[in-house]
Structure 1
Amino acid sequence: MSAWVGIDLGTQSVRAMAVDPEGRVLGAAVRPLTSRRDGVRHEQDPEEWWEALAAAAQEALREVPAGRIEGVAVDATSGTILLTAPDGTPLTPALMYDDRRAAELVDRVNTVGGPVWERLGYRRMQANWALPKLLWLLRDTPAGVRAAHQSDFINRRLTGREVATDLSNALKTGVDLIEERWPSDVLSELGVPAEALPSVVRPGTRIGTVCAAAARETGIPQGTPVIAGTTDGCAAQLGAGALTPGSWNSVLGTTLVLKGVTRELVHDPLGVVYSHRAPDGSWLPGGASSTGAGVLSRDLPGRDLDALSAAATARYGAKKDDTLPTTYPLVSRGERFPFAAPDAEAFTLGKPADDVERYVAILRGAAFVERLCFDYLDLLGAPVDGEIVLTGGATRSAYWNRLRADVLGRPVTLRENAEPALGTAVLAAGEASAGMIRTREIVEPSGADLREPYLRFVAALEERGWLPEPAAAHARERSDR
């Protein structure tokens, strides 16, 4: 039987996974990565990516016959970029997705490229996006350098030659996703040499085959097709099986990330939603909140979260209780989605009596933010009536899964093995991937009515000046439907 290899280049580790057509994992392995952080700077060594990937792939494929492997694809962190020599040798460290050293260049990037960014729906770039960082890297560099996203560097090593980049990883470097090409006039005015940029293709496009040297180091057979990958967020969406217009993947881990599928490009006047391009040409809008489960370890340090989940289920079950407190669970100062508020801070409505109520207050707040994200997406005209797939660490809590279904007022789906490495294997398999996505459970709403506490939460955000009035009004109107 056939098998496909998915490789997930994360912040803290590299994960390699071999998957068969039914979604069974034939082998998987992880290797850690290290970072260098200093204030606004966050760097990694690209050579460490390759060493970790080679070791993880060797272990993952140890029991997989070479003749079964039909393709490999790589996902990577969005906005990570470096410079290389023409032969792929790294000339700089990799500036990671959250590196903000190029903040002083953002205004110029947005002045020159503003009309293009407006047409693409996200309106303006941010300090941690790849294009400002590329301009910073290009200062005082020799002629002939190449810009490489994280996945480009790895694909160059896999194939042994220059490769195209994918539209998803190129989004934050300014690629025109409508025309599917670089906006040459904008980039030329900003001082980016045309020869420094790779060609661009859609995710899922074959870009080469594994070379002999890479085969020896990774255990991936020579001649295996290398498929253009995507960002880690889009790969997670593919692994979750949110693939049809109107369907959404809600990833709740340290923070909350929503990604969906639309036929038309979504334009957001606040600039908090931006869209990737799907392999079939449809659009993948999404946004990342600064709220999430990361607050649990901060506010309830050392507590057994599984025990708190069980206690919450025993104490409250599915019953409605408007008197329970609600926490706005910001992991750090400032909100990014479903509204932009750099000064936003965490708060709690009500006073939790004990750790169980503190736990429930955080879970309620995260679920309310998730609901507000869908209300805002609906306001933008994005279809939100399809399947909602929940992934991320928060799905360990049965209480939280039910609460989210209740707040959303609709069933939510849990998958097996939903993760970025599976998503890249799905991308590598293309049309052969139909059976890889496997449903674990569908959680139905209990019938609990949480409309009133949700609207109090919305009002609190609006009163603090963070949530714009049109978004708050639409949330109220939608809750009355």
Structure 2
Amino acid sequence: MAKQFFIGIDVGSSGVRVEVYDVEGNLISAGKASITKQDVVEWIKAIENATPSVVKNCVDCEKHVSIDSTSGTFVAIDKYGNVLYGPVMYYEKRSDVFEEIKNVDAVNELAKHGVSVDASSPFVKILYIKKHFGKLYEGIYKFVPAATWLLYKLCYDEGEQWEDIKTDYTNALKFGLDILSTPPKWFELLFNSIGIELEKLPDLASSGEFICKAKSRMAQNIGLYNAFVYQGMTDGNAAALAGGALGKGDVNIYTGSTTVPKISVDKIVMHPAIYYHIHPLDGYLAGSATGFTGAYLSWFAEKVFGFSVEEAFRYIEVVEAGTEYVFFPYGDRGPFYDPKLAPAFINVAMYDQPRDIVVGRILRSIVLGITMLENMYLNLFQNLFNVRISEVNLTGGAAKSKLWNRIRASVYGRRVIVHGDLIGVGTIIPVLYRSKIYTNIGEIKQRFLKPVEFIDPDKELTKIYEKFKEKFEEMWMRLREVYKI
């Protein structure tokens, strides 16, 4: 039997990472490349540069590939896959259009179906294109998520007509997916109400569903000619799977510029702080995207104190636990979705102490406040879904600090499992499962997910931080009144 390669391509907003695994779950090779500007040609160039040479060199290998990309990013294409408009990035907003439609019944109904709606929602930006570029809009064949476009670029060569275009449920969510239906489908009431033709959207599929055998020049350039191509997912879902959120009750917290807590569940329980994805394997992923948590720490370190985040932890380490100020993160996104709720410090007192201690106290307070936010979600998950969470999986750049992870475990009162920064493995897990290469999710987890560290709570720290936990949420909610002034 030919050697099998499973290739996960993670296309982020600043770079591409390509990971190559064998069927036993061993990482064969990995490569990365930067994205210097948001342009589809740049995306393809970065994928070519990031793909390890082993992919091209192994001419007799059976190759399986899937792609994840940023949630909500899309392009508008003609029938040959040529980009007519975009890319439109997930962070772009059309507030004027959103103001026009935010009170439409169908828009509010979609939010009740567990899909958050705001000025950055893709359907808002599609409506903007229709309103301002009417002739262009008429000529658009499909609006497709970034990952979907890249996958079909492997299937079709230049000049070939694209047919049977599908996108996966996770990428479809923000565009207006009705996840309460079985199977999930487009929320037709929304599109009929705001005037977007459903035929301009792709059909729907599960992550890991087979698409084609790669035949394009792009595929040939990176050694993927004749590779099996499968539906992908959003980068957030890939990170959650790569971080262990595979079966019911599994929790992953992605820690980076934002904090993204997710839990794998088998039911939907509506709550204003939670939105849902169709789980790429089975059931749902419940979670939230919070405000700029890690970005606030790096902003304070770099802009206020003039050093890197890595150096910041040298200041944090010398501060005595329990002497932190109380820091509340942004509340503009989860859990409050209050655009006026900016960060705040309270209990700030002046002491005649060395500057290093004062600086460290401020920075450690931010770390503790972010950890309290994470713990709020763990408690919410546990109560909402009636599950017992005994361990928490961590991924992302902010999970690299041993000190922070010890604080996390102690505040959570739960074991912390730290995973690396390999996101592509999450993208290929549904491929392994839906292709029946593996039929047991537990076996996939054992073979393909290799945690780098396990941290148990420190009893002394747990006791010290108990007083911070008791009133954190209550005080944070009261802060909303302050920002109304």
Tell me which interval the TM-score lies in, with the shorter structure as reference length: 0.7 to 0.9
1:224-283 Cα distance to aligned partner (Å, 9 max, x none):
111111100000011112111111111111121111101001312x2x321111233300
1:290-332 Cα distance to aligned partner (Å, 9 max, x none):
142222322222335445535544554xxx63x43232244xx
| Equivalent residue in structure 2 for 1:368, among 363, 368, 372 | 372
Could you tell me which amino acid in structure 2 is paired with residue 279 of structure 1? Answer: P
| Equivalent residue in structure 1 for 2:120, among 120, 124, 128 | 128
Alignment of 1:20-419 (within 5 A): 20-35=22-37, 44-57=38-51, 59=53, 61-62=55-56, 65-101=58-94, 103-105=96-98, 108=101, 111-114=104-107, 116-122=109-115, 124-139=116-131, 140=134, 141-143=137-139, 145-160=141-156, 161-162=162-163, 163-179=165-181, 180-220=184-224, 222-268=225-271, 270=272, 272-301=273-302, 302-303=306-307, 305-310=309-314, 312-313=316-317, 316=320, 321=322, 323-330=323-330, 334-351=331-348, 353-381=357-385, 383=387, 385=389, 387-415=391-419, 417-419=420-422
Could you tell me which amino acid in structure 1 is paired with residue 335 of structure 2? Answer: P
Q: Can you give the 5+ residue segments of structure 2 that lack an aligned partner in the other structure? A: 157-161, 350-356, 439-443
Query: Secondary structure of the residue that 2:101 maps to in structure 1?
Result: helix
CA distance in 2, matches of 1:361, 1:127: 32
Could you tell me which amino acid in structure 2 is paired with residue 21 of structure 1? Answer: V
Q: TM-score of the superposition, structure 1-length normalised?
A: 0.86
CA distance in 1, matches of 2:93, 2:99: 10
| Equivalent residue in structure 2 for 1:444, among 456, 459, 464 | 456
Q: Can you give the 5+ residue segments of structure 1 that lack an aligned partner in the other structure? A: 36-43, 468-481
1:329-384 Cα distance to aligned partner (Å, 9 max, x none):
44xxx521122221112211233752221221111111111112223334544635
For the pair 1:453 / 2:468, whether they are aligned, the reply is: yes
Query: Secondary structure of the residue that 2:85 maps to in structure 1?
Result: coil
Q: Describe the shift of the 1:384–1:290 C-alpha distance in structure 2 as closer, same or farther (beyond 3 A).
A: farther
CA contact (8 A) 2:319 2:364 kept: no
Q: TM-score of the superposition, structure 2-length normalised?
A: 0.85
1:118-140 Cα distance to aligned partner (Å, 9 max, x none):
55224x51111111111222330
* Deviant stretches of 4+, over 6 Å: none
CA distance in 2, matches of 1:275, 1:425: 21
Provide the alpha-carbon RMSD of the alignment: 2.5
Q: Describe the shift of the 1:212–1:90 C-alpha distance in structure 2 as closer, same or farther (beyond 3 A).
A: closer
1:131-183 Cα distance to aligned partner (Å, 9 max, x none):
11112223302245211111121112111144310011000111222332223
CA distance in 1, matches of 2:189, 2:297: 47
Could you tell me which amino acid in structure 1 is paired with residue 155 of structure 2? Answer: T
Q: Describe the shift of the 1:45–1:387 C-alpha distance in structure 2 as closer, same or farther (beyond 3 A).
A: same
CA contact (8 A) 2:390 2:415 kept: no
CA distance in 2, matches of 1:110, 1:283: 28
Could you tell me which amino acid in structure 2 is paired with residue 347 of structure 1? Answer: A
CA contact (8 A) 2:6 2:65 kept: yes
CA contact (8 A) 2:97 2:127 kept: no
Could you tell me which amino acid in structure 2 is paired with residue 454 of structure 1? Answer: K
CA distance in 2, matches of 1:404, 1:106: 40
CA contact (8 A) 2:212 2:228 kept: yes
